[in-house]
Chain A
Amino acid sequence: MENCRIRWRKVLYEHQAFPDNYVDQRFLEELQKNIYVRQYEYWSVVRESSVVTQQLASVCVFVVLWWYMDQGVLLPHWLFGTGLLFSLIGYLLFDVIDTGQGRRQNGRTRWADLKSATLFLTFTYGFSPLLKTLTESISTDTIYAMSVFMLLGHLVFFDYGANAAVVSSTLSLNMAIFASVCLASRLPRSFHAFVTVTFAIQIFALWPMLQKKLKASVPCCYLGVTVLCTVSALLGLLTISGVAALLFALLLFSVSFLCPLYLIQLQHYKDNIHGPWDEAEIKDDLPQFLK
């Protein structure tokens, strides 16, 4: 029996009295669990999920308006005029909220904006007869399937503000434009096609830019705008088909309210372990260390 208890040290380069795989009662005392887990609060998650709802509502509004034009209920110059008006209002709003800061940053003048706008309009107007006859010989079902696929892709790849690898704002915008061209080719005249494509650009390219600005500076206003959009989308869908409106409402409800609940409940099952075996992280704030 040993009198002086030799303390076991966690080294292998010294010949100790213990076997090589021996550990004492200090085993895993450096283990830490879940130190980086975020604590979610229900209502803030619901507020953040409005980004997804807003995008779903945009897609719905686009499809509804296209449907109206296809039925002949909505006249294209109405849509064109309204769209132009709203774009102008949004542009002014953007400038007011921005207060010149972002403009100074990326150096884009108003003249360049005007040139871009003229370019869009001329190009689309010039190509609209070609766009109208593009898919004449393809069956309608194929067109609908392609559009649905493209719009889904748009929703999947959209930049909701998360830092994930699957996000690609270019791809999502391109898919939306492709879908709009596919749908535009089914309308009666070339002016319809022109209006559809212009409207698609406004709602898929310009509207998210304004949203981001609003969200960053005036969050409560942004929330109000989202609610407005969602309601108008639902109402529009209701006039077309009650079942579709019901399904859409269910979808929105589950995305906004049920998914955050599920997320928070799943947090209980988190079981991340950390310890001295983790990979070293290089910290960026070196000056703080040197102080």
Chain B
Amino acid sequence: MAMKVFFPTCCNTADSGVLIGHWVPEMRMAVVLGVVHFPFIPNQVKQHLTEMQSLTGVDLCVLGSWSNHSPGNKDLSRFLEDLSGVFPHNIWIQLSKEKGGKFFNCYLSGPGPEGNAADRLILIFYDQRKVMLSHWHSVKADSLQNCSHVEVDHNSTSEFAMMFATVAKSECLFVMDIYDQGPVKMTHWQSEGKEASIVVELAKMASAPVCTLLSKLLFLVSGTTRTFNLWPVNFFWRKLSTCGQLGYRLEHLQTVSSTKKASSPSEHMRKANIFVSFLIDVFLGLLLISWLYRENRIGQMADALVPAADHVAKELTELLEWLMGAPAGLKMNRALDQVLGRFFLYHIHLWISYIHLMSPFIEMILWYVGLLASLGLTVALSVISDIIALLTFHIYCFYVYGARLYCLMVHGLSSLWRLFRGKKWNVLRQRVDSCSYDLDQLFIGTLLFTILLFLLPTVALYYLVFTLLRLLVVVVQGLIRLLVDLINTFPVFSILLRVCRAYRLAAGVKFHVLSQESGRPLHLLMQINPLTFSHIVQMYRLPTYSCYPQDSWSALCRKLFVGELIYPWHHKNEKQE
């Protein structure tokens, strides 16, 4: 196997010294983390290395020597060779470069079979800062589903994953710069001086007490909302989607403001995503409020609401009158038609009276409810969805009445049809068996069968009309919910990171060949290959709280045909009916 040496690009122009780093014998890989310059005391170097090893958990050792000499200086090489006796090593790499030259010479030596100089050597240059900050994702191509599956593999045995992990863990090695008076003088990416911005530092210092305060506040709020778990408030709580959305946001805030530090980079990413999407949400909500409360738009909306409800009721009344006549040329049973039509008309009348009763208060209610939009655009959309649900409540009622009546009729008919043929449903064996009925049972059964059969078209038509109306309302509410879901779960922070700082999300590496000559090792420049946008979205999507429809299309059609009530949008934690 070829031997790989990873060399940081920041040390290209460093003065001569010894190489510090990590050696992996199974993969024949040496990662150089820094160069310690002359003069140094070997014991102090060893002590420093042991300290750093206990802090970082990375197995650090002296890997070899580095000489950046002016042409013609040969005494240094002898001195450097003698150094190999001073430090304990498995392998000793001797890199040398002429000042002003571009390419390196490299010699390997060392005890044991690892120090075979005839091995091929590959020298890979890497940008230390970028590799340290980046986060490795392993992309597994799933040939079965024809898509790539992204995961963060903590136990990846890939060489590059290991190399990235090594550099990331050695962060405290890069703390001391040349202006510090330490025992050893090391060159690494931060040795020219640490850079930081004042704003970031101030924010970091302020975030700790703010987080504590916020988490205590949220704890209080969640405590009070726990009292809303009692019935009957619990019932209304579950039905309104606004409350679900508010609860979801509360959970998010709790996650973000918790004082525990993020345990893994993906946890950190998740928190950042939640925070950024929350901020965007609130910003859009405030934008909406500023537009809404200008020029008395609330008043205009409230004025338009009652006529809109009236209009809907008038349309429904016209529809019922049409059904009570001869709709589409179909022949209905006149008596039943009249009964059902009058029943539903009375309901509409009740509903309109209720709306008119409420009309003086509507503007005030809207004004206060509109303030809720300051909590986010998603909350505003949920409020709109709930208002639609409340306005079309009578359609929901009609649908339930029609469905129950139709369901009763269909079940009665199927049971009486079995009686007509002289059969019965055997509950024990779950099958249809023959049965000898009494004369009175037969007679009454046949009479009822005839009656139900001739009344079926009328009831079926009412059921069809109200089901279609209800499905229309459900579709509109579903669209709003989809939009809310999209805003909730889209990982904005990750996408921004990919656009601005692409090296932080590494999916792989690519190599650029710098030189390939015989007699010299192969020089390669390693560059980070970032994750694609689709992988980012797939991986960092926030978990959603709403479910998509449970039933497949065929199950839905069967339910509609039999007359069972359909609840297409179920929340995840609601009981299944």
Contact = CB atoms under 8 A, between A and B. Distances in A.
A136 B439 CA distance: 29
B333 A171 contact: no
B228 interface: no
Contacts of B446: 173-174, 177-178, 181
Interface in A55-87: none
Interface in B432-453: 436-437, 439-440, 442-447, 449-451
A171 B451 contact: no
B431 interface: no
A8 interface: no
A181 B446 CA distance: 10
Contacts of B447: 123-124, 127, 131, 177, 181, 197
B331 interface: yes
Given A123-B447, A127-B451, A137 B331 contact: yes
Interface residues of A, number: 26
Q: Secondary structure at chain B's binding surface: helix, strand, loop or mixed?
A: helix
Contacts of A232: none
Given A134-B455, A177-B446, 8 more contacts: A127-B447, A127-B451, A133-B334, A134-B450, A171-B422, A174-B419, A174-B446, A178-B449
A177 to B, nearest CB: 4
Interface residues of B, number: 24
B440 A120 contact: yes
Nearest to B335: A133
B248 interface: no
26 contacts: A116-B439, A119-B440, A123-B444, A127-B447, A127-B451, A130-B335, A133-B335, A134-B455, A136-B333, A137-B332, A138-B331, A170-B437, A170-B442, A171-B420, A171-B422, A173-B442, A174-B419, A174-B422, A177-B442, A177-B443, A177-B446, A178-B420, A178-B450, A181-B446, A181-B447, A181-B450
A216 B366 CA distance: 86
Nearest to B437: A170
A135 interface: yes
B421 interface: yes
Contacts of B437: 170
Contacts of A116: 439-440
A168 interface: yes
Interface in A231-253: none
Interface string A170-197: 1101100110011000000000000001
Contacts of A171: 420-422
B67 to A, nearest CB: 104
Given A127-B451, A171-B420, A137 B443 contact: no
Judged by DSSP, the binding face of A is helix
Contacts of A155: none
A135 B454 CA distance: 7
A174 B442 contact: yes
A234 B41 CA distance: 136
Interface string B446-473: 1101110011000000000000000000
A169 to B, nearest CB: 8
Interface of A: 116, 119-120, 123-124, 127, 130-131, 133-138, 168, 170-171, 173-174, 177-178, 181-182, 197, 201, 205
A283 B437 CA distance: 32
Contacts of A134: 333, 450-451, 454-455
Contacts of A123: 443-444, 447
Interface in B329-382: 331-335
B457 to A, nearest CB: 9
Contacts of B449: 174, 178
Contacts of A133: 333-335
A205 B454 contact: no
A24 B331 CA distance: 79
Nearest to B331: A137
Given A133-B335, A137-B332, A178-B450, A205 B421 contact: no
Interface in B532-549: none
Contact of B451 (A120, A131, A136, A201): A131
B425 to A, nearest CB: 15
A130 B443 contact: no
